[in-house]
Structure 1
Amino acid sequence: MEEVIVCPLTLEDWKKVAEGFYDKWNFHHTLTALDSKHIIIQAPPNRGSLYYSNKGFHSIVLLALVDADYNFLYVNVGANGSASDVGIFQMTYHHLALEDNAAGLPSREPLPGGGQPVHYFIVGMVPSL
C-alpha cells in the first residue's frame, strides 16, 4: 500500500481538518499542528556552527505539519540544525501559500457562542526549558 502526504488545498479540506481538531481535542479554528525534530548528523566539513543545534549536536531538521490524528500534512527535511522552527517554516512553499491564501484557507468566523470573527490558526510546540 502506497501512502502519500496530501496537504489540504481547498476550503472544504481545511474545514475537515479543523473539524478533526474540534472533535478530537475540543480546539476550535485549528488548521494544523507544527513541530520539528533534530536528526543527528556528522558535522559537515568547513561549515562551522551552521549545523550545530541548540541541543548540543550537529543536525538537520525535520519540520512537519499534522492533523488531529497525527497524520502528516506537510514535511520539510534538511534545514540546518541552527535554524529555528519559525525560520525554517517561513522559507517553505507552504508558508507562502498560507500567507497569500493560495492554500484556500477558511475566512475568519466567530467561535461557538461568540460574535467576533476569529482567524483560523496553526498550533506549535513550545520547546521545554
Structure 2
Amino acid sequence: MYLAAKELRKQKKTGRRAKTNNYLLMRNVNGRFERDFDNMVKTPTVFFENFHMSVSNFEDLFLRNFRLDAIPLEAKLALTLEYLACGTFQRHVASCYHISKQHVGVTIPEVCDAICVALSGEIEAWDVEAMKRRAQEFQGLWQFPNCIGAIDGKHVAIKAPPHCGSAFYNYKGFHSIILLAICDASCRFTFIDVGAYKSEGDMKAFSKSWIGRELLEGGMEFPEDNMLGGVRTPYFLVADDAFLGCLMLFVSSGFPVLKTRKVFIIPRWFCRQ
C-alpha cells in the first residue's frame, strides 16, 4: 500500500506544471531591457556608465558569438555586462530584467564564456615584436624606455567557498581571489590571470601564472638589450614592491646587475596608473 501511494504521488508530481510567476511574465513589457535599453542606446554617456563600453563595442561583441534562446540575446549580454560593471547582486539584476534568479545564475557564466571565446584573439601574443611595440608606446606616451608592461594584482571580493578555512582571507579583512594583470601604455590588458588565493599574495600569484613561470624558467624570449645613457639595459615589466620577492629570483647581486632583470620596481606612479 505504501509503495502504491508513493507511485501515485510521483505520477501526480510528474504531471504537475509549475506556474510561471506573473512578475516574470511582464519581462517583455516592464523588464529593464524592453523599458530602458533603447533609450540608453540613444544616450551614449548613460550607456557607457551602465555597461562600461560604447554602443558600437556592444554591437560588435553581440554579433560575434551568441546563440538563440527564449530570452533576447541582447538582453542576456546587457544584463551580464551590467552585472559585471556594477558589482550588484544577481537577484537585483534578475528583478530589473524580469528574469528568474535561477536563469540569471545560468546565463551570466554562459555569456562570460561566450565573451572569452569571442575576444580570445584580441590580446597579442607575448613575442619579441609585440614587446618592442609596447615598449615604443611607453616611450612615446610616458617617456619611459624599454618598459613592456605594468603589472599589478587586485583583490576581487568573493563569498568564501565551503570548508576553505583562511585560504581566501586577505589582510584587508574579507575573502577574495587575485586578479593579476599586465597592461600596456594605454591601460589595455595584455595578460590576465585570475583565481589565485589572496592569502598567497601578488608575488606568489605571479610566480604561479603562465607568464611568471616562463620568466622564472627562462622560457620567454625578450628583445635584445638597448643602450640607454651608455648603459646596456634590458626590457622589463614595471611593478610595485609587492613583487620584490619575484625580483630577487632574477637579480641576486643588486641594482647594477641589469642583464637578467625582468621585473623593475619603481616609484613612478604615472607608469602604473
Calculate the TM-score normalised by the size of structure 1: 0.85
Match of 2:234 among 100, 119, 125: 119
- Unmatched 5+ stretches in structure 2: 1-59, 61-117, 243-273
Q: 5+ unaligned residues in a row in structure 1: which ranges? A: none
Task: Quote the offset at 1:115 in angstroms.
Answer: 1.6
RMSD over aligned Cα, in angstroms?
1.8
Contact kept? 2:207, 2:216, Cα under 8 Å: no
Q: Does residue 1:69 correspond to 2:183, yes or no? A: no
- CA distance in 1 between counterparts of 2:198 and 2:212 reads 19
Count how many residue pairs are aligned between Structure 1 and Structure 2. 125
Matched, 1:97 2:214: yes
Residue 44 (structure 1) shift: 1.8
Query: Are 1:3 and 2:113 matched, yes or no?
Result: no
1:50 aligned residue (167, 177, 180): 167
1:55 aligns to what SS in structure 2? coil
Whole-Å Cα distance in 1 between the matches of residues 188 and 218 of structure 2? 22
Q: 1:104 offset after TM fit, Å?
A: 2.8
CA distance in 1, matches of 2:215, 2:185: 19
1:100, 1:49 → 2: CA distance?
Answer: 30
Equivalent pair of 1:21/1:28 in contact (CA under 8 Å): yes
The one-letter code of the counterpart of 2:190 is: L
Tell me the CA shift for residue 39 of structure 1: 1.1
Task: Classify the secondary structure of the residue corresponding to 1:31.
Answer: strand
Identical amino acids, percent of aligned pairs: 34
Single out whichever of 100-109 and 20-29 deviates more from structure 2: 100-109
Q: Which is richer in strand? A: 1
Alpha-carbon distance in 2 for matches of 1:94, 1:126: 18
> Is the alpha carbon distance of 1:8 and 1:99 closer, same or farther for their aligned partners in structure 2, counting shifts above 3 Å?
farther
Work out which of the two has the higher radius of gyration on C-alpha atoms and give 1 or 2. 2
Residue range with higher mean Cα deviation, 51-60 or 91-100: 91-100
Structure 1 position 78 matched with structure 2 position 198: no
CA drift of 1:101 comes to: 4.9
Worse-superposed segment, 27-36 or 100-109 = 100-109
TM-score (norm 2): 0.43
Residue 83 of structure 1 aligns to a residue whose secondary structure is helix
Q: Report the 3-state secondary structure (helix = DSSP H, G, I; strand = E; otherwise coil) of the residue aligned with 1:84.
A: helix
The answer for the alignment partner of 1:29 in structure 2 is 146
